[in-house]
Structure formats: structure tokens, C-alpha cells
Amino acid sequence: MSNLDHGKFTRVTTLFHSLLALDVFLLFFSGYAIMFNDELWWLLALLGGATGTVAVHRIAGLGLITLVIFWVTLQVTSSTGRSNFWAAKPTKGDFDAFIQDIRFVLGRADERHPNARQFAGYKSDEVPLLSYVGKGVVAIFTIELLLLTVSGLLIWSKTGVASLFQTKAAAMAFVTFHGLLGVIMLMGVMFHIFEHGMHPAFYPVETKAFIPRSMIPEQHADGGEEPDTTGIERLSLSPSWRTVSTIFGAITVIGIVSVLIASIFDEGYPVPRELAIGGGPTSLLMTIGINLGILVLGVGLVLSMYGNVLRIRWERQLEASDQEPATAADGGEPRSDGGVESDD
Amino acid sequence: MTDRDDLPDVDGYNRIYVVISAVVGLAVTALALWVVAGFNVFHESLYRVNPTVEGGGIGADWVFGNTIPSLDFLIALIHAADVLMGAFILVLMFLHWAAFRRLADRMREPGESRSEAVAADGGERPVSEARSGGGSSEGGDGS
């Protein structure tokens, strides 16, 4: 069971995250079945050939527009959303967190920076809403989704964009642009899955994005004593963590490297500079690598669903403990917040 | 599910804004679909004169490939962005991988059983005993 130490997202955010994930996975599966059709021929066939795959991609693309516009509107209109803007703004602390992560890995720092910390433990008060990676994800997703949506709508009608530029090659150039743009997100999402699936304290999935903060009991430290560690040394490592994280880390790296190399050679579909139909060179190694990348995404999809299963279990547990009046699963007397510290 | 707004620090989104945002999202999607559905070739505006390759007539683009410098540049730019971002993501990937391994070394090994083992879901109140129970060789668990 994963640790529930820092539910910081609201119910709407967690729900939005799950829907966005589902939609983006569909877009990746269908989009890269098209772009890397040499290597992912089976996926292309599975999604209903060229016609079916494109249909899936278009429907999921419309779903993405709905989700993105919904989110932007919500952030702008609601006060909760507006306050989030500041929580997502990069600060100097985020850069420090990156540097301290390097020092932590080299053994020159004892702890990760609060802005890098995924496991908060006793120090959950110091941990911001988003880690420095989280802020990077938000920033890159914002730019990428905007450009992908615009270029995606532009190539909705290939003949339309061809007539706009008076050449058919323009349509292909935009298709290529669209596909190459998504590669950044594809690589980023692979890392995202590793980052939130393979943290030793949360393995196999970090529930932060699945269990809303309204369901996390507030715990206040007794007295004024400030703990000097996160308390991670009190947690037991899962028996399978070392093996699974090594294998999954390796296939994530192979997947990222493979789609990166393939994106350099496979200039999309079909190639715009020289009008050759089909992708670039392919090989057994490339085929295996790209398929491993798609496997990473598949694991992400499963973990995303598992996170929701965990939330439902947690919900049940909370409801069960609500029946028994005396238990303190939600931090004792829920209605007293200001006086908690002096209570004990 | 009961509403838990009695807990402190829970200021979720106001329902009204959620509904408004959902409606706006759907409306913009419908509008976008309507616009792109009507976005098609208007044959009378196509260049039809000078039907040779050199003259850039119909079909010449199949020989030349993409000849629009701005689009060529865009693609080159995205290639560069892919490579730079890919390299950076790999750096982050290895950084986190190594950090996770270091964090894992601090945790208890799977078989290791101690009297006050705590479930990973923080079943017990964390601060009170762990800190004071220094006698149980708990405190400075380094490795």
C-alpha cells in the first residue's frame, strides 16, 4: 500500500488528471501508430487500420480540446484556480532543487530539496503543491498542448491546409510538425510514469494525483518539536522494488532513446522534404526499442487505473471508519482545526 | 461519498465554476469541429496556370517536396527541440533513478522486521514515538 502523506490536489484536479491521462494515452497510441507505422504495425492493425486509427485520434483530439478548454476556463474563473497560477510559477527554489538533486545523487547532500521531494513524510508542510519537475510538466504541457491543438486542427482537413499554402507538401509538413512536436511529450510522459511509479516509498504508484486532499486526514505534529528527517527510514521497501525498478527504468530509457532516434529519421508520415512515402530506416533494434516505449505507456495507463482503484479503496476505508464514532482515522475531531495543536 | 469540507485546508473548486468550465470546453470543441469541418479546398482559388514542374503547376510539389522555407525551418526547429528536450529528459530520468536508489537504501529491507514496524500508509501517529524511542536503535538508521 502506498503512502498517503501528501494529498494536495482537489477532487476536480484528480478527476481531470485521470481523464487527461486516458485521453493523452489514446492520442499517443493512435498518433504514434501512424508516425512509427514501420515499428508499430500491430498497433495500427489493432486500432482498426489506417481508417480506425485516424478516427480514434480525431475523437481523442476533440476530447483533448474539451479538457484543455475546461481546465483553462476553470483556472481563470475560480479563485482556487487563480491561486494555482502562483503555485505553478517557477521559482529560484526550483532551480536549487534541480542542483540539489544532482548533489543528492552524488552523495554531497543528505536530503532532497523540498521542491524536489515526492515523499514528504514528517516534513509535508515544507513540500509545495508541485515539485520542480511537476512545474516543468505543467509548463511544457501548456506549450505543447497549445501547439499540438493548433497544428492538429490545421491538418484536420489536409486539402484545406494544402490549398491554404497552394501546395500539397504543406499539409505533409504540418503533419510532420505535429508528430515531431508530440515526441517531446511522449518522452516526457515516459519519464513521468517512471517518476511517479517507481519512487521506492510509493511504488507501484504515487497516489498524490488520485486521492484528493479532502480525503487525506490532516495531521499536526505534537508540540513544537520539528522532526529532522522525512521518516523514510521507517518504511519498508517492497520486495519487488529493486528488480522491477531496474527493469522498468531500463525500458523507459530505451523507449525514450528509441523514439528520439526514430523521430530524427522518420520525418513523420510521409516525409515532406523529399516526398518519399513511408518512414526512414528501420531495424529490428529500432522496432524493439519503440515497442518498449509503447509498453512504458501501457504500464502508465494501468498505473493510472490502479491509482483510481486505490482511491476507491481508501474511500471505502474512510467511510467504514466514519461508522465507528470513536476512531481517529481522520485525525480525531474533524471540526476543530485551529485548536488541534493545543489539544494534546 | 460524504462531503468532507469540515476538514481544514480543503478549498476545492466551486461547483458553479466546474459546470461553467465544462460547458465552455464543450462549446469550444463544437465550434472548433464546426470550423475545421468546413475547412476544405476551394478549387477556384487553386493555381492552375503554367502546368509544368518548373512553373510550379499542379503536381509540381510532388517533385519538389516542401519548398516553403518557413515550414522547413519549423520542422528543423522541432527536430532540435526534440533532441534538446530528449537529452534533458534523459538527464532527469537518470537523476531520479539514482535518487530513488539512494532513498531506497535508507528504507528498511523487505525481510527486516522490527517491533514498531509501521505500515507504509502511516497507520500510526508518526511523530510521537518514533522520535522519542531512540533506545530501539531506530533513530540514526543509516546505510
The contacts of residue A331 (CB under 8 Å, 6+ apart) are A217, A218, A219, A220, A340, B7
- For the segment A26-52, what is each residue's pLDDT rounded down to a tens digit? 999 999 998 888 888 899 999 998 899
Contact A214 B7 (CB under 8 A): yes
| Region class of B117: left (phi > 0), else alpha (psi between -120 and 50), else beta | beta
**Distance of alpha carbon A89 from the chain centroid:** 18
Single out the residue of A169, A269, A162 nearest to residue B62, CA to CA.
Answer: A169
Element (DSSP H or E) covering residue A336: none
Supply the pLDDT for residue B38. Answer: 80
The span from the CA of A132 to the CA of A113, in Å, is 10
Note whether A198 contacts B: Cβ–Cβ < 8 A. yes
- In the predicted structure, residue A343 carries a pLDDT above the cut 60: no
Higher confidence at residue A277 or residue A309? A309
Supply the pLDDT for residue A11. Answer: 86
* pLDDT band (50, 70, 90) for residue A197: very high
Supply the pLDDT for residue A173. Answer: 83
Residues of A in contact with B115 (CB under 8 A): none
Task: Identify whether A69 is part of a domain.
Answer: yes
In the chain, the amino acid numbered B56 is G
Closest CB to B61: pick one of A2, A116, A169: A169
Q: For B49-102, give the secondary structure using H, E and C.
A: CCCCCCCCCCCHHHHHCCCCHHHHHHHHHHHHHHHHHHHHHHHHHHHHHHHHHH
Averaged pLDDT, A77-85: 83
Averaged pLDDT, A262-285: 60
Residues of B in contact with A169 (CB under 8 A): 61, 64-68, 71
- For the segment A319-329, what is each residue's pLDDT rounded down to a tens digit? 888 776 544 44
- In the predicted structure, residue B86 carries a pLDDT above the cut 50: yes
- For the segment A17-27, what is each residue's pLDDT rounded down to a tens digit? 999 999 999 99
Complex ipTM above 0.90? no
Higher confidence at residue B124 or residue B24? B24
Task: Identify whether A335 is part of a domain.
Answer: no
Task: Identify whether A95 is part of a domain.
Answer: no
The span from the CA of A338 to the CA of A219, in Å, is 12
Task: Identify whether A40 is part of a domain.
Answer: yes
Chain B nearest-CA residue for A194:
B93
Query: How far is the CA of A238 from the CAs of A199, A200, A286, B117, B122, in angstroms?
Result: 11, 8, 33, 14, 15
Shortest Cα–Cα distance, A6 to chain B (Å): 11
Residues of A in contact with B101 (CB under 8 A): 245
Residues of A in contact with B2 (CB under 8 A): 319, 322
Domain boundaries in chain B?
15-132
Cis peptide bond upstream of B51, omega within 30: no
Percent of chain A whose predicted confidence (pLDDT) is above 90 = 33
| Number of compact structural domains in chain A | 1
- In the predicted structure, residue A167 carries a pLDDT above the cut 90: no
Supply the pLDDT for residue A281. Answer: 65
Chain A nearest-CA residue for B7:
A334
Host domain of residue A274: 11-88+129-218+239-323
The span from the CA of A209 to the CA of A247, in Å, is 24
Supply the pLDDT for residue A335. Answer: 42
